[in-house]
Amino acid sequence: MAAAVGLRSFYKATGRLLCVHHIRLYSNFRSLKAKYNCGLDKPSWRYRNPHRLFRTTIVSHGQIVQFKLSDIGEGITEVTVKEWYVKEGDVVSQFDSICEVQSDKASVTITSRYDGVIRKLHYNLDEIAHVGKPLVDIETAALKDVAPEEDVVETPAVSHEEQTHQEIKGHKTLATPAVRRLAMENNIKLSEVVGTGKDNRILKEDILNYLAKQTGAILPLSPKPEIVAPPPTPKPAADKPKMPRIPLPISKPVVISQKDKTVAVSGFQKVMVKTMSAALKIPHFGYCDEIDLTQLVRLREELKPVALERGIKLTFMPFFLKAASLALLHYPILNASLDENCQNITYKASHNIGVAMDTGQGLVVPNVKNVQACSVYEVASELNRLQSLGSANQLGTSDLTGGTFTLSNIGTIGGTYAKPVILPPEVAIGALGKIQGLPRFNAKGEIFKAQIMNVSWSADHRIIDGATMSRFSNLWKSYLENPAFMLLDLK
């Protein structure tokens, strides 16, 4: 990190100020020995073990820099300030968190681009901040070049421009501030690291792998799943009578207000207003059915211990998503979009299946990318990640955009049937009810206990007819009622 060294010398015997010198250094020093001579001549520096040299800079009086809110993409022009991580007078460094803002699509943490002192916060909590307008004022050092003979030894390091705006043949290197800081601390140029994330994004593991290759050391990476034998199936215990589930009251105390209150529509509510208004233009076709999940319930119980050994919580949703993806391969019209003029249909190659989540900030619909290329385990792992981020209100824009098909598991809260509303530009959505043990007849006419789940579909009736929706639902249903059937179509 940048370090500032101030040297000041006063010669009181003659009543004259002989020299005031401030030097700002941009990397770690190695074996530096300075000898500063006060006088009217320029100071001289002595060093040993010389390496690459760079020019020092003289800092005059601090200057105020207005740190403006940058464009965070997706056409977002304004955000709501949800939390400040700094206050006026705090000292910040590059990549330190400044605040958390929430757009109508995601929550984003804004980090500092400067070293300095916070002098002014331009917004209070829950106020609207606009892209391109000042967010905070930071007092930094004003820099001026000095004579070339004033050289200081440095070890090779990554400059600020390389860290923040590294480009390879005109392509900006993608990395989070935490990854950039890790690279900076280890004197690694991001341009030399091959990213393995989406769009060649550099991940923490990429930096650690690069270090391991350079040093030959074995560095701790994020744990990779290991295939282990499932533990022995425990003997079934005697069935205990289950107590009926009683809805719990809201944890917050109920406050009875005496006056009406008007609040602005913001955050995720704002995008819901916009999306649902657009959805009113779509003629919805509804289709409902019930699914016998008895075999799937039994299979999940067998696989849950194996998934836990791999660090993954296995729910029913990964099976629902994978079965939907397999069915979409046969009925791609449900994974398409219709343009605003209703002239062209775009068939999406990727199955980015959204999952509606109820969070503290409202309904959000992150999506699992490329389900058609993922295993059930990989889908479960991604769902675990999205659910963790959703609970912490930390879902990113990439998690919330790009969806092509949606499933809403309303059954986790309650209810059997629903009337889901399509999320434009998608053309289909499904709502899943709760799983219930209900009496059903088998092929021999005998009554047995079945695990039944209801599903409600909505489709854009402009391009999807009832027969197509019904056939898709039947195929999806067959995969879930006979999980072994999925093996035939898995890639």
Determine contact, residues 288/452, Cβ cutoff 8 Å.
Answer: no
Catalytic one among 122, 160, 284, 461? 461
Determine contact, residues 427/338, Cβ cutoff 8 Å.
Answer: yes
The amino acid that residue 102 corresponds to is Q
Strand partners, 167: 172
d(CA 335, CA 299): 28
Tell me the DSSP string of 185-251: HTT--GGGS---SGGGPBPHHHHHHHHHHHH------PPPP---PPPPPPPPPPPPPPPPP-PPPPS
Residue 171 is a catalytic residue: no
d(CA 451, CA 297): 8
d(CA 443, CA 461): 35
What is the token pair recorded at 430?
Answer: 């499904």
d(CA 276, CA 130): 24
314 burial level (CB within 10 Å; 0-12, 13-18, 19+)? buried
Residue 465 is a catalytic residue: yes
Catalytic one among 71, 145, 339, 465? 465
Catalytic residues: 461, 465
